[in-house]
Copies of this chain bind each other. A is one copy, B any other.
C-alpha cells in the first residue's frame, strides 16, 4: 500500500480531512481529543444509522421488503447510549448471546420481543433467567438446550441453530471460523438433526426458524461461497417442515485495508431474495461489525516517537487490551493523524503501552512527521473493542462518547 491509497480508501463525508484537519461526525477530531482526553472511543450516531439504512435500502431494492429483519449483534458494542439510540431508530432488533446481554438490552429500552437469542453452553441458571423474558426468541444450539428450553417453555416456537459443516470467511484467519472442517461446539450437525426435531416435538416446540452462522467478515469475493452454504442449508429447512424464518447470522464484512472492496450489498441482497424470499421464507440477519465498526474512532495520545534499529515506533497511551482485534485477530485498525497536509509520509509502527510483544496497533503505517502533533486516531474501532476491553496491566481506562 502506498501513501496515497493509505489515505484514500476510508475517507467519506463523515470522516475526512477538511483544510488538512481530520473531521468526524461533523467535529474537528482535535477538538474532541482536547475536550475528552485520551484514550477515548467516539461513535458517530449518523454513521450507525447510515449503515443500517444502507442495509435496509439494499434489501428493499431486492424486493425483500417485509420479509427480513435486522438484529444488531450487541456483543460488537454494548455502549448503553448506542443501544438506546439504535432502539429509537426503529431500524433493528437485538441479537443477544447471554442473559446479561438480554438484561442490558432491556435496560436500554429494547423489549424482549425485539430480541433473538443464540448462544452455546448455557447453564440451567442462564436458561431460567432467559425464560423470565416473555417474548424473547430462543435459538437452541444443542440437543441439551432443546430439552432444557422445552421444559421451561413447552409449546412455544423456537429456532434451531444448525452447523452446515462448511465455513466462509476472510482467508488466513482461522481464529474466526465457526464452521468448517473441524467439528465446533456451534449448532446441531446434520446427523443429529432428526433427533433434535424429535426432542422439540416431545415438548410441543415448533421449530419455526433455522439459524446458521457460517463465518465472519465476508466481502464480495466470498458471496459465491455464501450462496453455496445457504443452498446446503435447505436440507435442514425441509426436514424441519414448518420453518417460517431462516437466520443467516452476521458476518458482513467491512474493509480493513485499502485493498478491501466494500461488500456489494446489491449482490448480497439478491442472493437473499433468490434463496429465501422467493421461497416465502423470512430472513433474519445479525450484523455487528457492519453496523458499528466504521462508526467508531479510537482517539489516542502520542507518547513518543523513536527509531529503534530500522523501525520508527510511535507510542500511544493505550494498548491492545482495549481493542484486541489487531493483536488477536489480525484485523488492523489503521492509524491516521489529526492533521494531514499531503506532506511526504514515512512508515512507522504504532505501538501501545502494554508490556507484551503482541501490543502493536499497526505495523508500517504511513504517517507524516508527528513532531507537532500529539494524537492519533485509529479507524474501524467501533466494534469488538470496548466490548472486549480488559484491565490488563491496569491499563483498562478509557471513555466513550456517542456523537449526534
A residues contacting B by CB (< 8 A) are 75, 78, 97-98, 100-101, 104, 118-124, 126, 142-145, 163, 165, 175-178, 183-186, 188-189, 191-192, 301, 303-306, 308-311, 313, 315-317, 319, 321, 328, 349, 351-360, 387-395, 397
Contacts and interface: CB of A to CB of B under 8 A. Distances in A.
A118 B387 CA distance: 28
23 contacts: A75-B355, A101-B393, A104-B394, A120-B351, A121-B303, A121-B315, A123-B301, A123-B303, A124-B303, A126-B317, A126-B353, A144-B303, A144-B304, A144-B306, A163-B308, A165-B309, A176-B356, A185-B315, A186-B357, A189-B309, A389-B390, A389-B391, A390-B390
A184 B98 contact: no
Given A393-B75, A395-B98, A120 B355 contact: yes
A119 B389 CA distance: 20
A360 B177 CA distance: 12
A342 to B, nearest CB: 28
A75 B17 CA distance: 40
Q: Pick the 10 closest A-B CB pairs, nearest first.
A: A100-B394, A121-B315, A144-B304, A121-B353, A390-B390, A185-B351, A183-B311, A183-B309, A97-B355, A388-B392
Copies of this chain present in the complex amount to 2
Contacts of A388: 321, 390, 392
Contacts of A304: 121, 142, 144-145
Nearest to A192: B308
Contacts of A303: 121-124, 126, 144
Contact of A184 (B122, B328, B357): B357
A75 B392 contact: yes
Contacts of A183: 308-311
